[in-house]
Each structure stands twice: as structure tokens, then as C-alpha cells.
């Protein structure tokens, strides 16, 4: 299986994040990608390719052009306002505040285009996020060109990012961009299986009314875990997309055994849907030692996950999402890829 990776993705290097009422060391850091790349090479998963340069169009198929422009111009505006540290949003246009006024202030814009205060933006964030989306697109193109599987070593991750907002360490929704690209280039049905510990709210929302992109997600119950406001079992799609979203919220403390029932159900949906390709939003934060999560996967369980996904029997694009136990991240990730390849 080929891996796609770009060094530019390392340029987004946040130092701190806001969590638990503190400024803590950031967990979505470049070494995550570096250890995965190192393990891919050591265990000889396959060739490592650099992404191609894609035009802005595939990104605009998923994200609002004004949101993309906001991210692109953000650092210049931020520094022009006299700021020099990483940026965090802190005010949002929620219920009873106006949605219809045009915002010009950089702090207002940060709130307008975000869902949380936990996602630092820095000088090179846009460049890295673009490279991450290009990584996903390049891997998607490998499938279109006939590869049966590919691994997009994406960073920053994507599944929380929506049409016009960032959050949960995500800026561009790499899985969604890849799915739409596959649709735009001849595939009729694409499935996204999100196995990150957190619900992929951005991906779900982007395709909620569409039958051509099935979204399946297994994750920690949002009543106990981020993102709290989406990812419940009664969310099953709307309009033409009714029945084409499925969520399996699981209790904190879930281990591989507790997970497999949901995974089997998700695989059954995949068999019925018969997608032309499947995208796996591969978060590795179900791992027992993940510093921000509460599931109990062991490293060996990731081999089983890969083996099970292979049985679905469709061209598969693996795309890195979360996972913060850096020391084990390479092992866990390559376990999935090797399990898949058999």
C-alpha cells in the first residue's frame, strides 16, 4: 500500500492548547506524523509519495470559499492587529446573537469560523492544512488510478471541520474533500467509516442530506465526550440523505470486545450499501494509553481492525485523524495497515 505524506504538514506546530481550564502543551503536534512516517518506512508498508499540487477547486467543493480565504489570510491580519502568539477564538455567535452582521474584527472572525477554543492557529496553519488536504486528494487519486488501497498520512486532521468552521484540531475536512473528489471523478457511491474516538461532526454535517456518501461513525458517546453536540444514535440523515448516516455512540471504557458489535453492524451497512470506495477516518485515539481519550484498545486490536476492514472487500483509502499517544502511534497505525493487507 502506498503512503502519501508532505513535510509541509509539519509546519503547523502549536505549542499550547486550552483544555481542562488550563493552557496545556498541545497534543496535535508534528511528532505524531513523524513517528507514523518512520514506522511506515521501518515496517516497509510500501512506497511513500509526496502529494501533487491540487487547485483550490476540490477544497471549494466542500468548504465555503470565504472560509478558505479567511484561513489563508488569517496570520497577516492577526499580526497586523499587533498579535504575535498562537490564536484562540473566544466568542461565538450563538443563540440570541446576530448571525447577519458582517464581521470585520479578527476576534469576531475567529468566532465566526470556529466551533471551539481548543484549536490553536499559527503562522503556518493554512499551509499545513492545505498540504493535508492535498495528501488526501493524492491518495484518493491513487484509488481512481486503480490502487486497491492507499494511506493518506494527513496532519492536521480533518473530521471535525465543517463547511465554514474549524475545531477539534481540524481545519479542512480531508475525508470529506477526498470523498467529494471521488464522486466528482466518476464514483457513484462512497462510504466513510469514522473509527476515531471522537464523533466526526464535520463529516456528518457536510453529507447529512446526501445518499451518495454514506457516513458511519463509531465513537465515545457525545453525552460524555467532545464534541458533545452531535454524534447521537438518533442522527440518521435528512431529506434525500435519510438513512445514510449511522452513529454508534459507545460508553467510556469500551474495549475491543465491546467495540466489535458496533463494528460488525457498521460492516453490515457497508455490505448493503456496496460503495465503489470506502474512506476510513483512521483516528487512533481509542488506544488505552491515549492521553485525552477513554477507550481501552490495545496495540494488537488495531491488527484485528485492519483485518476486519479488509473483509469489506472494497477499494479503501485510510486517512489519519486523531491519536495522541505518540510513542505507540506508529505501531498502532501500521498495525491497521498491515492487518488490512493480510
- Should residue 321 be labelled a site residue for ligand 6XA when binding is judged by CB under 6 A? yes
Q: Is 295 helix (H, G, I), strand (E, B) or coil?
A: coil
Whose cell is 465513537? That residue is 219
Q: Which does 162 bind (CB under 5 to 8 A by kind): ligand 6XA, Zn ion, none?
A: none
- Report how many residues bind ligand 6XA under the rule CB under 6 A: 13
CA 192 to CA 265: how far, in whole Å?
14
- Our answer to whether residue 160 is catalytic in this structure is yes
Binding mask 123-162 for Zn ion (x = CB under 5 A): ----------------------------------------
- Should residue 162 be labelled a site residue for ligand 6XA when binding is judged by CB under 6 A? no
3-state helix, strand, coil in the chain (%, to 5): 40, 15, 45
**Per this entry, what is the length of the chain?**
342
What sign does the CA torsion over 149, 153, 154, 158 have? positive
- Should residue 283 be labelled a site residue for Zn ion when binding is judged by CB under 5 A? yes
Longest CA–CA separation in the chain, Å: 55
- Should residue 78 be labelled a site residue for ligand 6XA when binding is judged by CB under 6 A? no
List, as one string, the DSSP characters of 116-168: -S---B-TTHHHHHHHHHHHHHHHHHHHHTT-SEEEE--SS--TT-BTTBBBT
Question: Considering beta carbons, is residue 160 or 183 the nearer one to ligand 6XA?
Answer: 160
Q: How far is the CB of 173 from ligand 6XA (least distance, A)?
A: 12
Q: Which three cell numbers stand for residue 130?
A: 492545505
- Should residue 156 be labelled a site residue for ligand 6XA when binding is judged by CB under 6 A? no
Identify whether the C-beta of residue 18 lies closer than 8 Å to the C-beta of residue 117.
yes
**Binds ligand 6XA (CB under 6 A): choice among 122, 222, 283, 339:** 283
Contacts of ligand 6XA in 207-246 (CB under 6 A): 226
Contacts of Zn ion in 296-325 (CB under 5 A): 322
- Report how many residues bind Zn ion under the rule CB under 5 A: 6
How wide is the angle at C-alpha 209 spanned by C-alphas 277 and 170, nearest 5°?
Answer: 70
Contacts of Zn ion in 190-219 (CB under 5 A): 196-198
**Binds ligand 6XA (CB under 6 A): choice among 162, 168, 306, 339:** 168
> DSSP alpha helices (H): ranges in 274-325?
301-312
Q: How far is the CB of 99 from Zn ion (least distance, A)?
A: 28
- Should residue 285 be labelled a site residue for ligand 6XA when binding is judged by CB under 6 A? yes
How wide is the angle at C-alpha 199 spanned by C-alphas 232 and 181, nearest 5°?
Answer: 115
Question: Considering beta carbons, is residue 88 or 244 the nearer one to ligand 6XA?
Answer: 88
**H or E stretch at 110:** helix 106-112
E-assigned strand segments in the chain: 2-4, 16-19, 22-25, 48-49, 149-152, 190-194, 213-220, 245-250, 277-282, 316-320
Instruction: Report the candidate in 290, 334, 264 with the shortest Cα–Cα distance to residue 27.
Output: 290
| Nearest residue to ligand 6XA on Cβ basis | 322
Q: Of these residues, 12, 159, 160, 219, which one is catalytic?
A: 160
Question: Considering beta carbons, is residue 111 or 283 the nearer one to Zn ion?
Answer: 283
**Binds ligand 6XA (CB under 6 A): choice among 2, 11, 16, 19:** 19
Residue ranges binding Zn ion (CB under 5 A): 196-198, 283, 285, 322
Residue ranges binding ligand 6XA (CB under 6 A): 19, 118, 160, 168-169, 196, 198, 226, 283, 285, 292, 321-322
Please list the active-site residues: 160
Amino acid at each position: 500500500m502506498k503512503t502519501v505524506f508532505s513535510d509541509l504538514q509539519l509546519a503547523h506546530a502549536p505549542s499550547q492548547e486550552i483544555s481542562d481550564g488550563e493552557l496545556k502543551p498541545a497534543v496535535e503536534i508534528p511528532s505524531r506524523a513523524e513517528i507514523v512516517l518512520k514506522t511506515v518506512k521501518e515496517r516497509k508498508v510500501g512506497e511513500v509519495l509526496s502529494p501533487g499540487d491540487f487547485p483550490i477547486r476540490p477544497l471549494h467543493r466542500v468548504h465555503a470559499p470565504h472560509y478558505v480565504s479567511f484561513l489563508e489570510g488569517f496570520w497577516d491580519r492577526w499580526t497586523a492587529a499587533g498579535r504575535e502568539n498562537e490564536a484562540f477564538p473566544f466568542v461565538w455567535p450563538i443563540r440570541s446573537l446576530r448571525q447577519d452582521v458582517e464581521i470585520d474584527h479578527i476576534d469576531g472572525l475567529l468566532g465566526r469560523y470556529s466551533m471551539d477554543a481548543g484549536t490553536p492557529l499559527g503562522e503556518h496553519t493554512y499551509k499545513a492544512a492545505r498540504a493535508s488536504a492535498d495528501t488526501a486528494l493524492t491518495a484518493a487519486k491513487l484509488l481512481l488510478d486503480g490502487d486497491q488501497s492507499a494511506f493518506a498520512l494527513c496532519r492536521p486532521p480533518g473530521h471535525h471541520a465543517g463547511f465554514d468552521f474549524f475545531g477539534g484540531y481540524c481545519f479542512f475536512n480531508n475525508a470529506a474533500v477526498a470523498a467529494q473528489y471521488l464522486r466528482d471523478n466518476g464514483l457513484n457511491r462512497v462510504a466513510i467509516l469514522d473509527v476515531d474516538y471522537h464523533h466526526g461532526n464535520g463529516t456528518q454535517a457536510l453529507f447529512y442530506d446526501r445518499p451518495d456518501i454514506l457516513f458511519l461513525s463509531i465513537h465515545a458517546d457525545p453525552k460524555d465526550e467532545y464534541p458533545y453536540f452531535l454524534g447521537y444514535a438518533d442522527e440518521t440523515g435528512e431529506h434525500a440523505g435519510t438513512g445514510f448516516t449511522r452513529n454508534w455512540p459507545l460508553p467510556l471504557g469500551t474495549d475491543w470486545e465491546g467495540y466489535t458489535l458496533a463494528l460488525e453492524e457498521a460492516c453490515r451497512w457497508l455490505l448493503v450499501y456496496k460503495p465503489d470506495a470506502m474512506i476510513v477516518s483512521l483516528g487512533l485515539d481509542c488506544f488505552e494509553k491515549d492521553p485525552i481519550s477513554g477507550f481501552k484498545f490495545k496495540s494488537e486490536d488495531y491488527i484485528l481492525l485492519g483485518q476486519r476492514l479488509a473483509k469489506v472487500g472494497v477499494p479503501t483509502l485510510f486517512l489519519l485523524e486523531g491519536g495522541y499517544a505518540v510513542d505507540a502511534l506508529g505501531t498502532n497505525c501500521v498495525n491497521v495497515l498491515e492487518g488490512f493487507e493480510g
